[in-house]
């Protein structure tokens, strides 16, 4: 269906009418999602520029949008009970060029509309064809998973591809720890306010700044992250490896706790 055919869609049209006419309801709602993006961009060029700022391709766009969503979600929930745990509603991950998006929504049509919106965004902003497979969870009708394969419509010339490939090879990261160009001690001095944990959230490396603050407490109070830090944002997120991994694109804010100090915590 071409976009020109949507110019006279009645505002009274509904999925039931589409079903009676032999039109797939899910496809119809997806087309509405495409039309939504097309209309928004045609009426507001600044919106299109704002969307382009989120990334140079569809993967970067969704990854950045994941982070932006969490920040806006925290601002909207400023008066929400912090003791109530909330699930990540929009999470994007990518592996070997394939994108996986997890969405939690109370409205099922929104999930189908997003399919069309993502296709339109990929085509209009990044000249990319997006194949999207939408799946729902039988144990939770609010959760949806999108498997997205993005293919550029116009491939670069062979010369550009070869140049990009050679450049990528020259800056490829090594998985060998011995290839690290800077020693751990020097790294901790250069970046004094960093820490590294394992999957159990046990501290395995501390910057020089943190070592001066509570390094002496490690032998008596242990190395658990929650002993020395409390998470402020995102709100209502447990200090758990898998919960943090879900929000890997989100900025985190921690509050520093000094063991044995009853004074105010330090943000």
Q: What is the pLDDT of residues 204-216, one digit of tens each?
A: 999 999 999 988 8
Please report the sign of the dihedral spanned by the C-alpha atoms of residue 223, residue 226, residue 227, residue 232: positive
Question: Model's pTM, two decimal places?
Answer: 0.56
pLDDT of residue 65: 83
**Cα three-residue angle 120-121-125, rounded to 5 degrees:** 120
The residue with tokens 């700044």 is 209
134 vs 250, higher pLDDT: 134
Is it the case that residue 19 has pLDDT exceeding 60?
A: no
* pLDDT grade for 177, boundaries at 50, 70 and 90: low
* CATH match for 184-256 among 3.90.1150.10, 3.30.365.10, 3.30.420.40, 3.30.450.260: 3.30.450.260
What's the CATH number for 22-152? 3.90.1520.10
140-152 and 128-137 beta bridge pairing: antiparallel
Is it the case that residue 260 has pLDDT exceeding 70?
A: no
Residue boundaries of the structural domains of the chain: 22-152, 184-256
Half-sphere exposure of 144 (CA within 13 A, CB side): 20
* pLDDT grade for 159, boundaries at 50, 70 and 90: very low
145: three-class secondary structure by DSSP? strand
* pLDDT grade for 170, boundaries at 50, 70 and 90: low
């Amino acid at each position: 269906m071409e976009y020109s055919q949507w110019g006279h869609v009645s505002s009274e049209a509904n999925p039931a009418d589409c079903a009676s006419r032999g039109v797939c309801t899910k496809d119809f709602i997806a087309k509405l999602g495409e039309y939504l993006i097309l209309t928004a961009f045609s009426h507001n060029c600044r919106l299109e520029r704002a969307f382009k700022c989120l990334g140079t391709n569809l993967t970067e766009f969704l990854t950045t949008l994941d982070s932006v969503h969490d920040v806006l979600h925290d601002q909207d929930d400023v008066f929400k009970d912090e003791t109530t745990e909330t699930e990540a509603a929009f999470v994007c991950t990518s592996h070997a060029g394939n994108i996986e998006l997890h969405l939690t929504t109370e409205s099922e049509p929104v999930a189908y509309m997003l399919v069309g919106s993502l296709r339109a965004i990929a085509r209009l902003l990044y000249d990319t064809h997006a194949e999207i497979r939408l799946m729902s969870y039988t144990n939770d009708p609010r959760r949806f998973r999108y498997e997205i394969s993005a293919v550029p419509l116009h491939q670069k010339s062979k010369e550009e591809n070869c140049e990009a490939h050679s450049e990528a090879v020259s800056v490829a990261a090594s998985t060998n720890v011995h290839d690290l160009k800077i020693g751990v001690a020097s790294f901790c001095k250069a970046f004094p306010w960093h820490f590294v944990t394992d999957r159990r959230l046990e501290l395995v490396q501390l910057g020089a700044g943190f070592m001066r603050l509570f390094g002496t407490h490690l032998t008596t109070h242990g190395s658990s992250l929650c002993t020395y830090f409390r998470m402020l944002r995102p709100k209502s997120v447990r200090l758990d490896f898998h919960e943090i991994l879900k929000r890997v694109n989100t900025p985190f804010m921690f509050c520093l706790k000094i063991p044995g100090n009853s004074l105010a915590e330090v943000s």
